[in-house]
Amino acid sequence: MTAASPPPLHALPVDNPQLLTPNDFRGSRLLQERLHAAIPGGSHTYAKGDDQFPEFMAPYLVRGRGCRVWDVNDNEFIEYGMGLRAVTLGHAYGPVVQAAHRAMTRGTNLGRPTTLELSAAEEFLAFTQAGDMVKFAKNGSDVTTAAIKLARAYTGRDLVACCADHPFFSTDDWFMGTTPVAAGVPAAVRALTLRFRYNDLAGVEQLFAEHPRQLAALILEVERDVPPAPGFLAGLRRLCDQEGTVLVFDEIITGFRWHHGGAQAVHGVRPDLSTFAKALGNGFAIAALTGRRELMELGGLQHQRERVFLLSTTYGAETHALAVARTVMRTYTLEPVVAHLHEQGRRLREGLEAAARDQDVAPYFQVLGPPCCLAYGTRDADGQPSQGFRTLFLQETLRRGLLLPSFVISYAHTASIVDQTVARVHEALGVYRRALNEGLDRYLLGRPVQPVYRPYN
């Protein structure tokens, strides 16, 4: 892969040159070929890949602090990706870094369980109120797959069902076989995972009717861009109880962001198993599977049923990650983190929607999701979802010092920073309006971004 000639960024329209901060992406462009030579796709996470950003403006980052990041050309960006929603307190958050450092000086991986494991487990259970027992791992995929395995062992059934409206549950075959990127997943494995629609309780009832007493687990995020319809979550709880199916809530994004106990605490429905990650470590690698003792104990030693090899990872109890998790929970206890996420998220949403109305693009640029975890949708002049206009928006906001794969707020995003963001987005939406009127090709440099889930490049 070779870098194309740099585009004339200075020739693109801009109403307020003072808002234009990064003008030079040459350093990032020079690294691109090396990254793709060493790493498949040039990134260890598909959502961070080059195909998700404008062709000539995909910055490679070197550091972050608070809600700001800097690339190899020392361009500064206000960031709203926040480690794919993992960093709620801010990059390099002082107490978290200090806790990790202190733990590492005492050894990161010892040969027997540590007192730190016990403290972290007890504090997690008390803090979240989401289960009777907990097991830690490193990634969200680890714990969602463990939940599916545990449900299958508990019920003696093979089939599972996941929500078709939620984009990601695991890198493992049981889920990836349901996506367009299913290469390498055996057909027999694909057939074991069924899908249902969010807020469609009648559809779930039909699924159970078609597969009576055959579903081991039902897994979904509690909430994403739209809230649960009245009675939906309670209805799932009732159906799973009737059918003997394990209800699993994926709280990997919602946990510590909607509420310290996850979205289940907001909506008042408790599942059999829950999975947490992301904000639990403020960017450090830690995840948690928690749930009812009757299920969780199958992965332990105090039962007479067939053994479940549940989670047994070399790095699942690394001391620095557990110390970080304790510090995160303590910070949430002492400071109004969740309230801040909601408050500043509302401020951001109101500002963005006002900017869209002012630039006459409100039907084409939509702010989505709850305030604590905002995303956006882009549409073309015909009102159709558009990757091209998403790319244009990314291009114009990158030019104005914003890194916006989403609008995910953090504790580091102050009211002042939110207002700066809105002013820069207002400018970018002016270009969006002109592109709607005059044609996208006149304003977009390079190829459009692409969906992560696609069968071919």
Dump pLDDT digits (tens) for 235-252: 999 999 999 999 999 999
What was the pLDDT predicted at 10?
46
Tens of pLDDT, residues 248-278: 999 999 999 999 999 999 999 999 999 999 9
What would the two tokens of residue 378 be? 């882009």
Tens of pLDDT, residues 281-317: 999 999 999 999 999 999 998 888 998 989 989 999 9
What was the pLDDT predicted at 2?
46
Over residues 137-142, mean pLDDT: 96
Closest CA to 63 of 76, 45, 80, 50: 76
Q: Rounded mean pLDDT of the chain? A: 93
Pairing state of beta strands 246-250 and 215-221? parallel
- Look up the pTM and report it: 0.92
Would the pLDDT of 195 be above 70? yes
What would the two tokens of residue 297 be? 């104990």
Would the pLDDT of 87 be above 50? yes
CA–CA distances in Å: residue 43 to residues 38, 40, 247, 361? 9, 7, 34, 33
What was the pLDDT predicted at 23?
64
Over residues 23-48, mean pLDDT: 86
What was the pLDDT predicted at 35?
86
Query: How far is the C-alpha of 179 from the C-alpha of 164, rounded, in Å?
Result: 9
Among residues of the chain, what percentage have pLDDT more than 90? 82
Domains of the chain with bracketed CATH: 9-91+337-442 (3.90.1150.10), 109-317 (3.40.640.10)
What was the pLDDT predicted at 27?
86
What would the two tokens of residue 369 be? 């999701």
Would the pLDDT of 83 be above 50? yes
Q: In the β-sheet with 273-276, what is the strand arrangement from edge to edge?
A: 133-137, 287-291, 273-276, 246-250, 215-221, 159-163, 193-196
Would the pLDDT of 8 be above 80? no
